Structure 1
């Protein structure tokens, strides 16, 4: 073997005047079988003796291998672990349809030296040697990938690609495997007979990425990894034999489930290099328990379940097998091949299909290892949520390659000719957050200082002219406020790039100064407490546009629709409303009502908040849209969205009243919009059931298609309706609509507590699933949210500095999972859903803090749960339930305690207290012990479906 595992595929990097494709080739083909039992030798290696090119046999032992003319004088080596290597001359006999039979090669130790070997001892030695044998640094790989899916013997998806892989060892949300498809092809398959079914069963979520997730040595701590020592108790591990491969001995271990073990999910056969303890090969196949687990938990989650209902078909696994091999490069071993074979049955009464066989083969072959000058990809990264069938492109090129059959020495430094680097934007490096610190400007923006708390805004009248040609706005905002304490100096807010023409107090012009984005307005005399005053700020400028490299960076989106018409939207939740209009830009102060007038060119429609009162001609070729919001509204919710819209109406009639609903969509999406919005009334019914009456009935409920989704009060933006998107399953519509209750009807006082908006709205998505499809579907929906939790920063932000420009994803997902956990801590759905309605009623049309909400929850439930919310909101770590299990005869001894950041953490949690039955235990931070009658270790589970925690076995 060459010291450098460095192979590349022909035609991969054609450059300059190379004409490699015109070189003459000879094609070898054949089948490799076991000489004794005539079974195929799966994934046997076929390569040139003196060259670095080769291929491997498929699951049937078959191969095709093309060799360039210059290599014809070489010899062919056929090898596989456990078999004697065969050397064949390329000049002897027929090279087509060869029948190659391999003799087993068992290396028997002399009788006098045979000892009983401890299988688990060998396995544990292999695991402890991983840091020495297996490269635990990031690595760059080139690989061939093939996906082949058949239904009843007919191909329904066949694609191949060359992959450039950035493979990590220490994986996190921001540092994970990346795949770039260098070249790909797929076979054209006719799905016209049943496009809905074929699209569902042929497009598997990116199997190239999931193949990398099979790396046993990388994911040692994975819950069901056979190398996770927690799982050893479910298996027996026996040393069977020593086999010879080349000049090394390989120890063969058989890992088998213990009798009646329901948690042993696979049978496995491992080959371990005797001299070093390095893992060379692992073969696995699911047990019946494994098949049952996969069918219940691993078929694609909530998306799969929903599509199964829509398509009216089921796809159930009957067999899964996996072969992983590792090869040495220099002093370390690296992933070499991953071969996955899946068998399923498809059933559909609608189609009269019963147990129709579905087979999928997924092969990854690493052809190049590079450990030097590694940089992550900045562009061209394959989407891990899309299928490979979608990602590789549309054409099937017969000159591309056939099997793993045209492998050539790498072109000189081919992978290093272009390096893609990630250059963070300057702004992204300068934004204020925990890492970069905060400035005086952040305090001016985020602090409720005396110059702000001295007055309370009661009404805004915003009158703005939007000019799409110059991307500018000009207007005026009248601010009516109540004087809380006497003052003659107040703070307003308007971004420094926006020009203030004048500020009028009646007919009198007021003096003002500016610092950063703050505006300090001086009155000629002290205003008395209790008085109602009005000022008008006249201004103009070009508002900022969003920089999507900066989290929560807002501005005006100057977009175009699919027909080239202007499509303009204001989004400013994070950056603040003062980026486009002057106001008291602090979440604690909402006007009681607001008038919004937006003037736009004729020919487009403008949608803001509340109800449209009238449209008025405004000069030459302009129209003013006059809106009135009759409820309190937070500043970032005030908005405009401008485009050539189609408009239709509906009404939601409930026991409470009749609610008018207005829909605005692009004309070319009118029918899609009608289909999508058919779910709105059931959604409103679900939310009213759990949260109480829709909070803004006077203003009605408006949903509009928009460049960007955003929860603008009574004018909810849902993003773009795209061709091919699911119209019957739109969590974005649910989420943004739920904000009418959570974020609009009640709002946080400081953006650091924005989890009150986002956690409840994200949880509402799961409740919508529960309302429409049952509790189990809600649980499945929540389970998928776990994959999106980062646990890098606390859910709550830093107070008084407008802390928002960071990854706030945990406010959504971790917050939602926290709420669901609290539901099951209460263990009383009547109490839980009454609590949600009571929160809405108690705080409606008010702003509140996290502490105020938690205090109310404790008061309402008559229990102090402060410790619960502090752990989930103020710390990054999940509470960890530490357990110790020990069987005593027919009983199971369970020791348990919490490890948490909050002292006195004492959350009850459900575990199996009898076979098949969950019950509560009440851990504290001190060890406790109970005996569970008539239970084995195999029977024990912690209810992680309903409690978002970590579980660690001591």
Structure 2
């Protein structure tokens, strides 16, 4: 049984690194600007009303549509709304906070949204019926057909991949992708096509070490625990986990069970984390989990594809997060984030090098889809794609057109501006 779990590591967490002495060619510009501007862009920031702290990964969604985005680590967001939709209202929500519905016109004069923490004391005795955490997870998995979209869908998503050497950005890849999302009860894998993409890599800051992430958007997509339960929450393997209740919470007006889980067998790298389950419908609305990789030798064999002689490379921290969004009583995959920290030790160097790899994707729009011709008219990317090798370079400020993206943090924006300045000098 543990062998199956190890196989899941290699194929799903998709954190295979290619560590090789190689250099990418100078990037080219392969995409054209969308000239027709039939949308309006709104910017804002979401903060905690008690202390003004930014709220990262807050969901910003346009009511009566499938359009959404999320806030970045600084709580900032940019939302592009087609002019044909206005007037509409926008919902701002985050787990543990009271959500807000605001008219779109609010953002013309205000760019700040304050959310209040849900301070109501939740009573497990009066509100929650579940007494056994394992049984609750079993029921959650058994009710997937009732709670999640069962039709195939065509999703538009924004993907960002960042590699940092300590605190310095050394590689950045971004893409708007189209996802052919198969039903969660289908054995067919999801398919991805790149619609727009750009990248840059500063190999001078990589110590001549070209660190590359394999898997691209699939890193985030395969975190969908409802679609890919065989990797973490396979029903037949629930007996290999310990489950317990943590303090309950709220999202919008929904009461949420918080279930801790941890693998029992710790002879190999093992999963542990939290599941957030809606108390009424037993829907998994969020999961946050990590992998213990204290066994460096085994973790290296699982996650490092290739490395140069004279070096030792191993992961020291692996963190994953997945969110689901609801529309008309049905939930769908909304956001996935994988953050991984690696250490590189060299034989003839006193100090090691530390790299952080972040891969995140947010679904910004989706529609039910039944036309199989889509797969014949686009280029489907391989699940082992290396984005830094397979996409082109940076373009102008209107590059994304009317596509919603995750607002860049300041460090990312500064890196992009530096790239553009260097390009202008050339």
Scaled to the shorter chain, the TM-score interval is 0.7 to 0.9
1:299 & 1:76 partners in 2: Cα distance? Answer: 41
Contact 1:34–1:41 (Cα < 8 Å) also in 2 = no
Which of 254, 271, 281 lines up with 2:260 in the alignment? Answer: 254
Residues 1:180 and 2:193 are matched in the alignment: yes
2:43 & 2:54 partners in 1: Cα distance? Answer: 21
| Structure 2 residues not aligned, in runs of 5+ | 1-30, 409-426
Deviations 1:113-137 (A, max 9, x none): 6667110110110111123333455
2:369 is matched with which residue?
372
Q: Displacement of 1:266 after TM fit?
A: 2.3
Contact 1:107–1:242 (Cα < 8 Å) also in 2 = no
Deviations 1:482-506 (A, max 9, x none): xxxxxxxxxxxxxxxxxxxxxxxxx
Q: Displacement of 1:219 after TM fit?
A: 2.6
2:108 & 2:254 partners in 1: Cα distance? Answer: 32
2:202 is matched with which residue?
190
Counterpart of 1:117 in 2: which secondary structure? coil
Q: Displacement of 1:324 after TM fit?
A: 0.8
1:321 is matched with which residue?
319
1:358 & 1:314 partners in 2: Cα distance? Answer: 13
Counterpart of 1:207 in 2: which secondary structure? coil
Q: Displacement of 1:335 after TM fit?
A: 1.3
Which of 6, 10, 32 lines up with 2:47 in the alignment? Answer: 32
Residues 1:162 and 2:162 are matched in the alignment: no
Residues 1:265 and 2:270 are matched in the alignment: yes
1:106 & 1:333 partners in 2: Cα distance? Answer: 25
Deviations 1:50-81 (A, max 9, x none): 776543123x3422325679699876643112
Q: Displacement of 1:163 after TM fit?
A: 0.7
Q: Displacement of 1:392 after TM fit?
A: 2.5
2:172 & 2:311 partners in 1: Cα distance? Answer: 22
| Structure 1 residues not aligned, in runs of 5+ | 1-11, 407-954
1:31 & 1:51 partners in 2: Cα distance? Answer: 21
How many positions carry a matched residue from both structures?
A: 370
Which of 392, 403, 406 lines up with 1:404 in the alignment? Answer: 406
1:357 is matched with which residue?
354
Q: Pick closer, same or farther for the CA change 1:278–1:383 going to 2, 3 Å.
A: same
Contact 1:106–1:242 (Cα < 8 Å) also in 2 = no
Which of 29, 54, 58 lines up with 1:44 in the alignment? Answer: 58
Q: Displacement of 1:183 after TM fit?
A: 0.9
2:128 & 2:394 partners in 1: Cα distance? Answer: 58
Q: Displacement of 1:33 after TM fit?
A: 4.3
2:339 is matched with which residue?
341
Higher strand share: 2
2:229 is matched with which residue?
220
Match runs of 1:47-446 below 5 Å: 47=61, 53-58=67-72, 60-66=73-79, 77-86=91-100, 91=106, 95=110, 98=112, 100=114, 102-106=116-120, 108-109=122-123, 117-135=131-149, 138-168=152-182, 169=184, 176-186=189-199, 188-192=200-204, 196-197=208-209, 199=210, 201=211, 203-222=212-231, 225-233=232-240, 235-257=241-263, 261-262=266-267, 265-288=270-293, 292=296, 295-301=299-305, 304=306, 307-309=307-309, 312-330=310-328, 332-350=330-348, 352=349, 354-375=351-372, 377-378=375-376, 379-401=378-400, 403-405=405-407
2:330 & 2:77 partners in 1: Cα distance? Answer: 30
Match runs of 1:747-826 below 5 Å: none
1:341 & 1:362 partners in 2: Cα distance? Answer: 6
Deviations 1:669-716 (A, max 9, x none): xxxxxxxxxxxxxxxxxxxxxxxxxxxxxxxxxxxxxxxxxxxxxxxx
Q: Displacement of 1:308 after TM fit?
A: 3.0
Q: Displacement of 1:362 after TM fit?
A: 1.1
2:159 & 2:321 partners in 1: Cα distance? Answer: 15
2:80 & 2:259 partners in 1: Cα distance? Answer: 37
TM-score (norm 1): 0.35
2:157 & 2:267 partners in 1: Cα distance? Answer: 36
Contact 1:105–1:243 (Cα < 8 Å) also in 2 = no
Contact 1:268–1:283 (Cα < 8 Å) also in 2 = yes
TM-align CA RMSD = 3.8
Residues 1:18 and 2:15 are matched in the alignment: no
Q: Displacement of 1:112 after TM fit?
A: 5.5
Deviations 1:255-283 (A, max 9, x none): 1455x844571222111122222211111
Q: Pick closer, same or farther for the CA change 1:131–1:68 going to 2, 3 Å.
A: closer
Q: Pick closer, same or farther for the CA change 1:109–1:193 going to 2, 3 Å.
A: closer
1:134 & 1:337 partners in 2: Cα distance? Answer: 15
Deviations 1:530-581 (A, max 9, x none): xxxxxxxxxxxxxxxxxxxxxxxxxxxxxxxxxxxxxxxxxxxxxxxxxxxx
Q: Displacement of 1:142 after TM fit?
A: 1.7
1:642 is matched with which residue?
none
Q: Pick closer, same or farther for the CA change 1:285–1:271 going to 2, 3 Å.
A: same
Deviations 1:285-323 (A, max 9, x none): 22355x74872342144xx2xx332xx433321111111
Deviations 1:198-239 (A, max 9, x none): x2x1x21122123222222223333xx134442433x32122
Counterpart of 2:385 in 1: which secondary structure? coil
Q: Displacement of 1:13 after TM fit?
A: 11
Deviations 1:856-906 (A, max 9, x none): xxxxxxxxxxxxxxxxxxxxxxxxxxxxxxxxxxxxxxxxxxxxxxxxxxx
1:26 & 1:114 partners in 2: Cα distance? Answer: 39
Match runs of 1:497-508 below 5 Å: none
Counterpart of 2:394 in 1: which secondary structure? coil
Q: Pick closer, same or farther for the CA change 1:73–1:131 going to 2, 3 Å.
A: closer
Contact 1:82–1:245 (Cα < 8 Å) also in 2 = yes
Q: Pick closer, same or farther for the CA change 1:176–1:114 going to 2, 3 Å.
A: closer
TM-score (norm 2): 0.72
Contact 2:322–2:335 (Cα < 8 Å) also in 1 = yes
Deviations 1:646-677 (A, max 9, x none): xxxxxxxxxxxxxxxxxxxxxxxxxxxxxxxx
Counterpart of 1:131 in 2: which secondary structure? helix
Contact 2:271–2:290 (Cα < 8 Å) also in 1 = yes
2:18 is matched with which residue?
none
Q: Displacement of 1:85 after TM fit?
A: 1.6
Q: Displacement of 1:41 after TM fit?
A: 3.6
Deviations 1:318-356 (A, max 9, x none): 111111112234564321111111122222245x36333
Q: Pick closer, same or farther for the CA change 1:49–1:193 going to 2, 3 Å.
A: closer
Q: Displacement of 1:369 after TM fit?
A: 2.8
Q: Pick closer, same or farther for the CA change 1:137–1:319 going to 2, 3 Å.
A: same
Counterpart of 2:77 in 1: which secondary structure? strand
Q: Pick closer, same or farther for the CA change 1:329–1:46 going to 2, 3 Å.
A: closer
Larger radius of gyration: 1
